[in-house]
Amino acid sequence: MPSPTSNRGSLLRWLGVAPFLLFVGFFLILPSLYIVVGAFRAPDGSFTFDNILGLNTRTIRNAYWVSIRVSFWSALLGCLIGFAMSAAVVLGGLPKAMRSPMLTFSGVASNFAGVPLAFAFIATIGPAGLITLWLRTEFGINLRAYGFNLFSTTGLIITYLFFQIPLMILIITPALDGLKREWREAASVLGATGFQYWRMVALPILFPSILGTFALLFANSFGAVATAFALAGPQLNIAPILLFSQIRGDVLGSPGLGYALAFGMIVITGAANALYIWLRARSERWLR
């Protein structure tokens, strides 16, 4: 029979995690359920698929497609660049003193978004940005003449990399630390080159972590709205901005269609996060 002391200890542990459970319940689960119900509800309160079928319009399809394209490229480039930077510090023989500043900066930069990030990029590489004017006056290079426009999908991808690369570094660094030295030594004893070791041992072990992080970065980019809206406003036709405009001004003309638009975003980001969780659990079995 459990003693009163153990019961009090168990109660205190649950009280400690109660704020987290309340936060998740009130600000994540309940709003998500409300959106799901609203996506299948007609104005008279009855069940309907008309809201979901209403997503099949040119504007909404294009918004989803642009969002998927931006998320894919920002996640792919973030994974490639972040992996290279992390591998250079962890395995590349660079001074260990660089590791702590890189991880500290990554922890800050991965959460730096919204209006401050948009302003920083506008002030740096915008039409009248510091680097833009410097290249034009010192080297005669006009970025606009080369087709670069910060207020476009390409500019949005470049801006998103500011927090995508650090997020990749934070997640992949522990996975790189988990590569055992014995695996490399065994590969060398068997006559494998460095390239063969990476191709046949290291990358297959790291692949679930890399692919899972790619899924997480995809979801992170797909759901971002503050940075995109502050950078270019409604002229960028992506799903988060379309939903934001619907919330502010009912642009779509139908609350149910707005719920359906949000429901579609939940499905895409939820699938990406579920893939990340599954792949991360799979990779941790090798890296323990």
* Residue 156 pLDDT greater than 90, yes or no: yes
pLDDT band at 232 (very low <50, low <70, confident <90, very high): confident
Q: Which amino acid is at 42?
A: A
Residue closest to 86 by CA, chosen among 17, 188, 165: 165
| Residue 156 included in any domain | yes
| Residue 50 included in any domain | no
Under 8 Å between Cβ of 221 and 158: no
| Residue 268 included in any domain | yes
pLDDT band at 248 (very low <50, low <70, confident <90, very high): low
* Residue 16 pLDDT greater than 80, yes or no: no
- Scanning 40-125, the segments in alpha helix (DSSP H) are 50-53, 58-90, 99-109, 115-125
Q: Which amino acid is at 146?
A: Y
In this prediction, residue 167 carries a pLDDT of: 94
User: Per residue in 167-182, pLDDT tens?
Assistant: 999 999 988 988 888 8
Looking at the structure of the chain, the number of domains it has is 1
| Residue 138 included in any domain | yes
* Alpha-carbon 278 to chain mean position: 16
Dist CA 191 CA 170 (whole Å) = 33
Mean residue pLDDT of the chain comes to 86
Dist CA 275 CA 9 (whole Å) = 35
Range of the domain at 200: 58-287
Does residue 256 or residue 106 have the better pLDDT?
A: 106
| Residue 127 included in any domain | yes
| Residue 166 included in any domain | yes
Under 8 Å between Cβ of 264 and 239: yes
In this prediction, residue 2 carries a pLDDT of: 54
In this prediction, residue 166 carries a pLDDT of: 95
CATH code of the domain covering residue 213: 1.10.3720.10
Residues counted in the chain? 288
Percentage of the chain with pLDDT > 90? 33
Of 149-153, 157-161, 215-219, which range is least confident?
149-153
| Residue 186 included in any domain | yes
| Residue 200 included in any domain | yes
- Phi-psi region at 129: left, alpha or beta (left = phi > 0; alpha = psi -120 to 50): beta
Lookup result for tokens 């002391």: 5
Dihedral of the CA atoms 242, 246, 250, 254 (nearest 10)? 90
Q: Which amino acid is at 196?
A: Q
Letter string b/e over residues 124-153, b meaning 16 or more CB atoms within 10 A of that residue's CB: ebbeebeebeeeeeeeeeebeeeeeebbeb
User: Per residue in 21-55, pLDDT tens?
Assistant: 898 898 888 988 998 998 998 888 888 898 899 88
DSSP β-bridge partners for residue 47: 41
User: Per residue in 72-84, pLDDT tens?
Assistant: 999 999 999 999 9
